[in-house]
Structure 1
Amino acid sequence: MSSVNILNPLSRGTDYERLANRFRPIFERIAEGAEQRERERSLPVEPLRWLKEAGFGAVRVPAEYGGGGASLPQLVRLLIELASADSNLTQALRGHFAFVEDRLNAAPGTERDTWFARFVAGDLVGNAWTEVGAVQIGDVVTRVSPDGDHWRLDGEKFYSTGSIYADWIDVYAQRSDTGGDVIAVVSTHQPGVRQSDDWDGFGQRTTGSGTSVFEGARVEAGNVIDFATRFKYQTALYQLNLLAVLAGTARAIERDVARHVRERTRIYSHGNASRVADDVQIQQVVGQISALAYAAEATVLRAAEPAQWAYEARFGNDREDERQANIAAEIESAKAQVVVSELTLRAASDLFNALGASAARIDKVLDRHWRNARTVASHNPLVYKARIIGDWLINGSEPPYIWQIGNGPQKAA
């Protein structure tokens, strides 16, 4: 065993079936209530509590610290299984697993070990990076300021995915004293943090992606982290979460279309059988949907492999190997995004070819699959990802690892 493994054990993977079997009964319970939560737009507070109590948030923590020791491809497989039960929950955990990954990449020490212990105890982390209002691109209005032996955080964020369910929030902010960009990790269990469930998108409606307001929120001294130390493949990891949402949605479509065809009793006079389940054309539609779901999942799992390479290379002694791993993580997650978005959206639309007009009834909530997939596919616009892939292939231009959103430059009067 290398000295790295002795001093800094890494999460290289575990027995996947044994790990997944810990959570599959919970996934089944989550799936049972998914349609009702969608009809009522009720937040999945209890399902997330089940996952917390089962240790789901610690599956990437090394086994030596009490976690699951899962590799990134194994985490993505689990997230796909969860998303097939309820895609909102996988996305709600997006910020959590990104912060876990950042701590996995941190230098060994007391502060990192403290976070590992929190994850194993069930603590969840949300995120709040996007500024609210008419801010210029690149501007960071949220401030963290020295305040005696700690810091205070002031600002407002939107797209705070998962934060309404979390114990901590990973907040992108700027230091008031130096102007440096940082991550301020703030506890939600204090009066200085206010959160609203005001995400009004037509899909992924219960991800907790609303507004977070910080007014003099206390941040402990060790929880202000220089953003420059953030792990390099973070954008790829965030994208892998959304890809898992899409692949899980495709699996849910496959499951639901087969069930509804199996249970359908009404037929068309110009159909091909006395039972819809025996109609060869309907069977073909279901088979094609299944193939789309298969291709989506296979693509996502393939795209997760370079991220694991990047994680392990972080602790090697070959800087060029690490650089190539980070490039591969970004490029392959981008390729998957371009393809998987189309596969899942097609499956979500083809579902209705097998079921007819009655499938459009609101009470069936089958439209949620298309709405959810379309919403997720709108993140990190895939047209830009396709361009980045092309630029890399043609010109060897290294992909951007960090990007921002905001108002463009104002035109002169």
Structure 2
Amino acid sequence: MSTEALNKLPTTVAKSTEQSGGHASITAIGQGRVHVIRDDAEAIDVATALAAAFAPGAALRDRERRLPVAELRQLRLSGLWGITVPREYGGAGVSYATLARVFAILSAADGSIGQIPQNHYFILEIIRHEGSEAQKQFFFERVLAGDHFGNALVEPDVRRPEDRKVSLRRDGEGYRVDVRKYYSTGALFADWVPVAVADEEKRHFLAIYPRTAEGLRVVDDWASFGQRTTASGTVIADNAYLKPEWLVPHSVNADHVKPVGPVGQIMHAGIDTGIARAAFEATVAFIRQRNPKADDAPAEAVWEEDQLSIREIGDLAVSLHGTEALLDRAGLLIDRAYASDLAADWTRAAIAVSEVRAASTHSALLITNKLFELAGTRSTAPDHGLDRLWRDARTHTLHDPVRWRLFDVGNYYVNDKVPLRRPKWAEQPNQPKAMPEGPEPLTGEPPQPRLAAGL
């Protein structure tokens, strides 16, 4: 799908869906008919076209903190939200190697836009494994219509998911929820906001609210120096009523690797890999621009650059390509685990994902730093907007401490240990801290949200 074709999606998608059968009659809640992507190749083509459309404005959106409302509307109409919906429910059911590549492609264009879909696909994975048949049919159909999940999972001052405060109580046939969340990436733009809750028996659920539900507030108070336009701020549920059919079980402990873990983490690896790719290409382009060839130089003439800098570019290329290979490998191992459903295969998939999480963290930080070292002082000028790449990489790599990924890998190879939740001895009591790490959440009475409507 070309960029030109992508720009025409609002007028052409209706025809394509009418011809495609299956879910052709679905109408989105927002404006416009939504395309339904049919296979892996089309998903990559659509992501590539979207990335080409998003990249030119990424630096300006970051500099002025312009929320990517129009870009997410394009993403909605493209059908990309629905690519992991299983085929038996009308979706493409793409491979997880493809999903990881989609994240790398989008994140190379804009590290903020690349982050926003992560929770959407993560929530879809939970519904796939723990939702009832009726919930699967309902939510999968809504996603194929273009609906988007945000998230409200992390509570300030709660270190582990299993330690969430009691926030869910019965009210007649339904429920009431009282809780405050932070790091709520995508909630401001979403149609649905899944809120992680616990009842008095310490059972865990997702309370999936329409974003405009009474008693639910989404506050744009995200203030990080990187990934500035993800709107990863506060969600407040204040005695918010929930229909019983919108409560999905979400177990947080297990004695084996669950699919949602590796799937959630490989998307994060894709984000860092994409940022690393963008920084590598920017480094090479800046060096070539700094020392251009003469107009009359033969085609085989080389760019004049000091040999040590050329050697450093080679080192960055090895790091990047190794990370991209590990990303593909991890995705294929998740696909294999889904096919076999063997615990041993899920363990291998989880270890492969931990390996690429470590590698992508290293590559993203290395290359975004080397960009300035090799490109020189001129590269720091605000007009280039290259600092965005380092800030996005530094912010996102804090999402999940890489030291624990390396511990999981080493513990597996040395002690044959399955990578589950952190060992109890590693916890530090009486030091509550929200996870993942990042800017401190808002306290006190929140301001009114900047954006009051979804897409």
TM over 0.5, shorter chain: yes
Q: Pick from 117, 134, 155 the counterpart of residue 93 of structure 1.
A: 117
Aligned equivalents of 1:400 and 1:387: distance in 2?
Answer: 11
2:268 aligned residue: 242
1:264 aligned residue: 290
CA contact (8 A) 1:250 1:293 kept: yes
SS in 2 for 1:128: coil
Q: Pick from 38, 54, 66 the counterpart of residue 62 of structure 2.
A: 38
1:113 aligned residue: 137
Tell me whether 1:300 sits opposite 2:320 in the alignment: no
Q: Pick from 387, 392, 403 the counterpart of residue 412 of structure 2.
A: 392
Tell me how far 1:19 sits from its aligned partner.
Answer: 2.8
CA contact (8 A) 1:191 1:217 kept: yes
Q: Pick from 227, 234, 247 the counterpart of residue 250 of structure 2.
A: 227
Tell me how far 1:94 sits from its aligned partner.
Answer: 1.2
Tell me how far 1:142 sits from its aligned partner.
Answer: 5.3
Aligned equivalents of 2:191 and 2:423: distance in 1?
Answer: 27
Aligned equivalents of 1:79 and 1:184: distance in 2?
Answer: 26
1:11-410 map, 5 Å:
16-106=40-130, 109-133=133-157, 138-141=162-165, 143-176=167-200, 178-228=201-251, 232-264=258-290, 277-279=303-305, 281=307, 282-314=309-341, 321=342, 323-401=343-421, 408-410=428-430
CA gap of 1:86–1:151, structure 2 versus 1, over 3 A, is same
Q: Tell me whether 120-129 or 345-354 shows the greater mean CA deviation.
A: 345-354
CA gap of 1:370–1:33, structure 2 versus 1, over 3 A, is same
CA contact (8 A) 1:330 1:401 kept: no
The alignment of Structure 1 onto Structure 2 pairs a total of residues equal to 383
CA contact (8 A) 1:131 1:142 kept: no
CA contact (8 A) 2:185 2:233 kept: yes
SS in 2 for 1:125: coil
Aligned equivalents of 2:69 and 2:375: distance in 1?
Answer: 32
CA contact (8 A) 2:156 2:182 kept: yes
RMSD across aligned positions (CA): 2.9
Aligned equivalents of 1:182 and 1:222: distance in 2?
Answer: 12
CA gap of 1:87–1:388, structure 2 versus 1, over 3 A, is same
Tell me how far 1:356 sits from its aligned partner.
Answer: 0.9
Tell me how far 1:64 sits from its aligned partner.
Answer: 4.3
Tell me how far 1:69 sits from its aligned partner.
Answer: 2.3
CA contact (8 A) 2:103 2:270 kept: yes
SS in 2 for 1:344: helix
CA contact (8 A) 2:162 2:252 kept: no
1:216 maps to a residue whose letter is N
2:442 aligned residue: none
Aligned equivalents of 1:350 and 1:229: distance in 2?
Answer: 39
Residue-by-residue CA offset, 1:18-71 (whole Å, 9 max, x unaligned): 332233222211111101111112211211111111111101113443322211
CA contact (8 A) 1:154 1:215 kept: yes
SS in 2 for 1:263: helix
Q: Tell me whether 256-265 or 360-369 shows the greater mean CA deviation.
A: 256-265
1:4 aligned residue: none
CA contact (8 A) 2:108 2:277 kept: yes
Aligned equivalents of 1:15 and 1:190: distance in 2?
Answer: 34
1:119 maps to a residue whose letter is V
SS in 1 for 2:409: helix
1:262 maps to a residue whose letter is R
* TM-score, with length taken from structure 2: 0.77
Tell me how far 1:347 sits from its aligned partner.
Answer: 1.0
CA contact (8 A) 1:234 1:401 kept: no
CA contact (8 A) 1:90 1:245 kept: yes
SS in 2 for 1:171: strand
Unpaired runs of 5+ residues, structure 2, are 1-36, 294-300, 432-455
Aligned equivalents of 1:30 and 1:61: distance in 2?
Answer: 24
Tell me how far 1:105 sits from its aligned partner.
Answer: 2.7
CA contact (8 A) 1:289 1:351 kept: no
SS in 1 for 2:185: coil
SS in 2 for 1:191: coil
Tell me how far 1:373 sits from its aligned partner.
Answer: 1.4
CA gap of 1:41–1:82, structure 2 versus 1, over 3 A, is same
Tell me how far 1:331 sits from its aligned partner.
Answer: 1.4
Tell me how far 1:301 sits from its aligned partner.
Answer: 1.6
CA contact (8 A) 1:285 1:353 kept: no
> What is the aligned-residue identity percentage?
28
Tell me how far 1:15 sits from its aligned partner.
Answer: 5.1
1:318 aligned residue: none
* TM-score, with length taken from structure 1: 0.84
CA gap of 1:136–1:88, structure 2 versus 1, over 3 A, is closer
CA gap of 1:14–1:266, structure 2 versus 1, over 3 A, is closer
